[in-house]
Structures are given as structure tokens and as C-alpha cells.
Chains A and B, each alone.
Chain A
Amino acid sequence: MSADTATQSRLRSRRRRASASQSGVILALSVLAGVGLFPYLFMLLSSFKTNEQFYQNFWGLSLPLEFGNYAVAWQQVNPYLTTSLIVAAASTIGTIALGATSAYVLARYRFLGRNVLFAFVAVLMMIPNIASIIPLFVLVRDLGILNTYWVLIIPQVASGLVLAIILMKTFFEGVPQELFDAAKIDGASGPRLFRSILLPLSSPIIGTVALMTVISVWNDFFWPLLTISDDSLRTVPVGLSFFQGQNATEWGPLFAGYAISSIPLLLLFVFLSKWFLAGLQGGIAGVAK
């Protein structure tokens, strides 16, 4: 009996200690998360301030909220967002169309030189974009496509295609052969197998590649900086870096512009969180293979 109560009280005190340590963990995590999120919270607060409010009340929320900043910022950021959306959409379609068909053939058919062709693709994993950016610039200038959508889309597809093919090939190889055999008995042809069997099963990998492409377009900086000088064709990263110069003394619209430019990726993160993270980690998967 007494031993029993002793055990119980020991258990209780251990539980109390455990819940105290849980609070400690929560506190520490809150600090880490707070520090990490601070710049973005500050951006949000300041985006609703006039310059006067900004200087008077640097840290806090100022009322009334100055929604006009967003109207001003929208005027300036709008073309950058449009360009980025067009480039992201076109690059995604291009990367998936070329990547999926190539990966299908490489994964499910045997033909002379299959391994050589796959190695031809995979070796490019080793060539970082930044190392060939200078000769690539000379190439597109010789092609006469500076300051066009093509210069933003085609190299993006070419560089995204490498990882897309590697990831999709791995995924397609994992699809059970029985599914294909069954469809072939029904007389389905190669393209038919691709459309009706493989594609419907492939939304996880297609989503990953799509998000990988969008994230990459939204973050690519040096390439659009070097190849685009026409302001209306600037993508978000480059546009914002110039936008900063224009608004050096108008803090509200500046931060509002940053906030507007962040919305598309944030929406993808909220609604497609799983693919978003898979897209971010795609690089790792490719390297680990």
C-alpha cells in the first residue's frame, strides 16, 4: 500500500516535471519562431503606416490603417507579378511536358543508348547555373532574345528539366508493371498508357515538379537581372530590387509592395504545403539519388 502511494507520488512529480519542461520547450520554440517571423511582421505593420506614423510609432500598430499604400504599391508591382506569373506558368508547363514524356520513355522502355541518354541528362545535375551564366548570356544575346519572355522561359525549362527528369523517372519506375500489362491486353498503345495509366497516378510528382519550378522562378535573381532591361518585363525579384530604389523615402508603399509580391508563394505554401515542401527539398532528393 505504502509502496503504491510512493510510486504514485513519484509518478505525479515526474509528470509535473515533465509538464514544466514542456512549457519550457514551448517558450523556447516561441522565441525562435518569433525572431524568425519578426521581419515579416514588421513589414506587415509598417505597410499600413504613412511616413509620419512610421517615424512617430516605429514599433507598434498605428491607426488609422493606411490602405492607400497598397494601391500605390500595386501600381508599381503589378507588371512584375504579371511577368513572374506568365514565366512561372509557361516554365511549369514546358518542364512537365518535356520532363514527363522523357522520363516515361527512359523509365519504361528499353532501347539502344538508353543509359547513355539518361547519363547525358543526369550529368547536368553537377553543372551549377551560376557557372555557365556568362557564356549562356552571350548565347542568348547572339540568338537575339534578350528582353523577351523567351529568355526567361527557355533557360528556366532547360535547367529545371534535369531534376524533373531524374525525379519523374524514379517515380515512373515505381509504378507496378501489372497496371501496364492489364491495359496492354486491352490494346492500349504507348502514348495511351502514358495518358491513361501513368499521368493520373503521377499527381504527387507533377505537383512537386510544378512547385519546384514556381519557387525557382520566384527566386531567380541574376539571370533576369542580366537579360532584362525593359522594366515591364522584369520579374518580381529584379523588379523589387529596383522598386526599392524608387521608394527610398516612402516606407509604407515599399513594404506594401513586398507584401503583395509575397502573396502568390504564401498561397501555394498554405494550400499546397506538402508539395511546396517537396518542391523545396527536391534538390536534396536529386542529390541523394
Chain B
Amino acid sequence: MTSKTMAPKSPTSEVDSGPPSPAAPAPRRRQRIVWWAYLVLAPSIGLLAFFGYYPGLSGFYYSFFDWRPAFESEFVGLENYRRMLSDDVWIQAFGNLGIIFVASVTLMWVLPLLAAELVTSLRSARLQFVFRTLLIVPLAFPGVVTVLLWGFIYDPNTGVLNELLSAVGLDGLRGNWLGDPGSALWALILVQFPWVASLPFLVFLTGLQNIPSEVFEAASVDGTNRWQRFVHIDLPLLFGQVRLLFFLAIVQVLQFGFSAYLLTGGGPDNSTMVPVIRALDMAFGASEWGYAAALSTTLFVLILVLSIAALFVRRSEKGNVDVG
């Protein structure tokens, strides 16, 4: 791979023996045609065209077909999309996603924010470092290990949660957490509780640590207590980060599926079904490739529209306080 990218550059030294024209900082200099720039870029552009653009576009194209890879595919117009609108499982998947989204921008922010406030309240820099590290160590474990460990916590027979309930004399509350349609979705949401080993925590912590200490000194001269400081100083200054996290949460929740696939597979009774699993099921389980292409195209368009919307929100509100 290395040799491929370096190769186009070797002729450069012969043809373009003089100093190459520099970038932006010196626009008035005579333009030399840096033709080898295209050669350097070619492998990357080619790779992205073939493995980035082509699959996305072909998915869109074949979403209008009864797609049978390697065979003749029949054009069906909007049939796949019409079917999608009356697919109860698909609609339920979005309902579940709504619950997951609300949880991920409330529950999954509150504890990280609290933890970030607590860490910045520590007076010793050493302790700040120790706790920050202890709180984020779970991020250093492979996601699959974390999810499988939580699967064990919920195990109906020897799981940690049930053993804990028995140990404190609450045998009656033992449950099949992932196997019961009533609790499965909440069990999935509670994976990784207390959610402190997460991007929101790192973002909140950086944001709080970047608030100039003069601000706090000024506030404490005015007799501001910790709660007032949190409400009137920390929260407004964190607002820029919150907006960014909100946007990230939308994009991430739409792609939610990894833990659900491992722990419940979307069951029981579709109570943990999410769009990603539905699309994969349709393609790899039911071999309904055209329909699956329509589902993933829809997912893609949703993410794209929301990303662009978030981008415009960011643009128009620029100039706001943006710490970090």
C-alpha cells in the first residue's frame, strides 16, 4: 500500500525539480501546475469512490428493484418504500429508537455531567487525574467484552443482578431481564450504567476544565455557592458542547444495534427491535435485498438530513460562547 502511494511521487523530483509552489500563504507567486498532486491523491480518491460512494449509490439505485444480487433484478418502482411504510416491525423499531434516544440525551448525560462537576470540584490535581482515569478505564475495554459482561449481569440463572437480589433477600424480584418483553429494552439502555465512561463525560470535563479560573474567582467574590455556579456559569458555558453532543447522539442512536444484536437479537417479540437489525435481518435473513436496500437508504437519508440540519444550527449560532 505504501509503495503505491509513494510511487507517483518519485517522478516529481525530475520533472518538478524546482521548489514546488507553496499553499495558501503565498498566493501571489506564479502558479506552477502541480500535476503530480493528482497522482498522489488518485489512490485515496479511487478507494473512496469504489468503497465509499459506489456502495451508497448502488444501494439507493437497487432500492427501486427487486434486487437479486448475481441474478436479473426486476424494477419495482417505489414498491419497497411503500412496503416499508406498512411494515409494523420497522415502525416499532423507530418507536424503540425514540425511547433509546430520549434516554441517551437525559439519563446518559446527567450522571456524566455530575461526575464531571465532581471531578472539577476536587481541589487536588492529583486526585482529579486519578478519578478521571478510574472513571474512563471502561472505555479501554473492547465494546464486545463490555456488552457480553452485561449479558452475564442479566443472566436469568446465575447473573449478577439476580444473585444480588437474592443476596439482599429480594428473591421475588429475580427476573429474566433480557427475555421479558417488558424489561428487555430498559435492560439494553442500562448497559454500561452509570455511563460515565463515555464521550459526554470527556466533553463535559474538558469544557469545565477550560472555563478560566478567573470566572470562578469573580463568582466566589460575589458569594456564589456551588449550585448557583453550576446553574449560572457552568451550564451556559457548556451549551456549545451540549449542542454538539445532541447532534452526535442523533447520529449514533440511529445506528444503534450492536448491543441489541448481541444480547437480544431484536427480541423478544420485537421489543428491542431497531432499524439496523431490521435491515440486516431483511438482507441476510430473508434475502430481501431490494427491501433491505430501501430500509438502509431511508436510514442514510435520515442521518444525512439531521446532520445537515445540525450543521446549519451550528453555523447560525456561531459566535456563541464555545469553550474548548
Cβ A132 vs Cβ B247 within 8 A: no
Could you give 6 example pairs across A and B, Cβ below 8 Å? A25-B118, A32-B114, A135-B59, A136-B51, A226-B284, A262-B141
Which residues on A sit within 8 Å (CB–CB) of B258? 221-222
Tell me the complex Cα distance, A256–B71, Å: 46
Tell me the complex Cα distance, A188–B12, Å: 12
Q: Using a CB–CB distance below 8 Å, which chain A residues touch chain B?
A: 21-22, 25-26, 28-29, 32-33, 35-37, 39-40, 42-43, 55, 58-59, 90, 93-94, 97-99, 101-102, 104-111, 114, 117, 120-121, 124, 126-128, 130-139, 141-142, 154-155, 157-159, 161-162, 165, 173, 177, 180-181, 184, 187-193, 218-219, 221-222, 226, 236-237, 240-241, 244, 251, 258, 261-262, 265-266, 268-270, 273, 276-277, 280-281, 283-284, 287-288
Of B101-109, B178-186, B189-197, which binds chain A? B189-197
Docked complex: B36-57 residues within 8 A CB-CB of A: 36-38, 40-41, 43-45, 47-48, 50-56
Task: Given A135-B293, A281-B202, decide whether A261 and B142 contact each other with a Cβ distance below 8 A.
Answer: yes
Residue interface bits B249-260, CB-to-A below 8 A is 1, else 0 = 001001101100
Cβ B48 vs Cβ A161 within 8 A: yes
* Min CB–CB distance A219 → chain B (angstroms): 5
Which residue in B54, B119, B122 is a CB contact (below 8 Å) of A22? B122
A269's closest neighbor in chain B, by CB? B140
B123's closest neighbor in chain A, by CB? A22
Which residue in B2, B111, B122, B199 is a CB contact (below 8 Å) of A97? B2
Tell me the complex Cα distance, A114–B21, Å: 14
Q: Residue B231 at the A interface, CB < 8 A?
A: no
Cβ A101 vs Cβ B202 within 8 A: no
A-B CB pair tally, cutoff 8 Å: 303
12 further A-B pairs in the complex, CB-CB below 8 A; given A180-B22, A283-B199, A284-B203? A25-B121, A58-B158, A101-B44, A106-B41, A128-B300, A161-B48, A165-B44, A177-B25, A189-B17, A219-B144, A226-B284, A269-B137
* Min CB–CB distance A272 → chain B (angstroms): 11
Q: Residue B276 at the A interface, CB < 8 A?
A: yes
Which residue in A101, A134, A188, A287 is a CB contact (below 8 Å) of B5? A101
Which residue in A58, A120, A135 is a CB contact (below 8 Å) of B45? A120
Q: Residue B153 at the A interface, CB < 8 A?
A: yes
Cβ B160 vs Cβ A42 within 8 A: yes
Tell me the complex Cα distance, A98–B299, Å: 30
* Min CB–CB distance B254 → chain A (angstroms): 8
Tell me the complex Cα distance, A219–B140, Å: 11
Q: Residue B26 at the A interface, CB < 8 A?
A: yes
Tell me the complex Cα distance, A104–B5, Å: 12
Q: Using a CB–CB distance below 8 Å, which chain B residues touch chain A?
A: 1-2, 5-6, 9-10, 12-13, 16-17, 19-27, 31, 33-38, 40-41, 43-45, 47-48, 50-56, 58-59, 62, 69-70, 111, 114-115, 118-119, 121-123, 127, 131, 133-146, 148-151, 153, 158, 160, 163, 167, 193-194, 196-197, 199, 202-203, 244, 247-248, 251, 254-255, 257-258, 261-262, 276, 279-280, 283-284, 289, 292-293, 296-297, 299-300, 303-304, 307-308
Which residues on A sit within 8 Å (CB–CB) of B247? 287
Tell me the complex Cα distance, A138–B51, Å: 11
B307's closest neighbor in chain A, by CB? A126
Which residue in B115, B153, B248 is a CB contact (below 8 Å) of A39? B153
Find the residue from B25, B51, B262 having the highest chain A CB count within 10 A. B51
Find the residue from B56, B115, B304 having the highest chain A CB count within 10 A. B56
Cβ A139 vs Cβ B55 within 8 A: yes
Which residue in A104, A137, A280 is a CB contact (below 8 Å) of B202? A280
Tell me the complex Cα distance, A244–B37, Å: 50
Cβ A158 vs Cβ B54 within 8 A: no
Cβ B150 vs Cβ A39 within 8 A: yes
Task: Given A106-B41, A154-B51, decide whether A131 and B300 contact each other with a Cβ distance below 8 A.
Answer: yes
Which residues on A sit within 8 Å (CB–CB) of B163? 58-59
Tell me the complex Cα distance, A91–B144, Å: 20
Tell me the complex Cα distance, A35–B138, Å: 11
Find the residue from B40, B54, B62, B289 having the highest chain A CB count within 10 A. B40
Which residue in B26, B158, B160, B197 is a CB contact (below 8 Å) of A36? B197
Which residues on A sit within 8 Å (CB–CB) of B55? 132, 135-136, 138-139
A99's closest neighbor in chain B, by CB? B44
Tell me the complex Cα distance, A213–B90, Å: 33
Tell me the complex Cα distance, A105–B23, Å: 9
B145's closest neighbor in chain A, by CB? A258
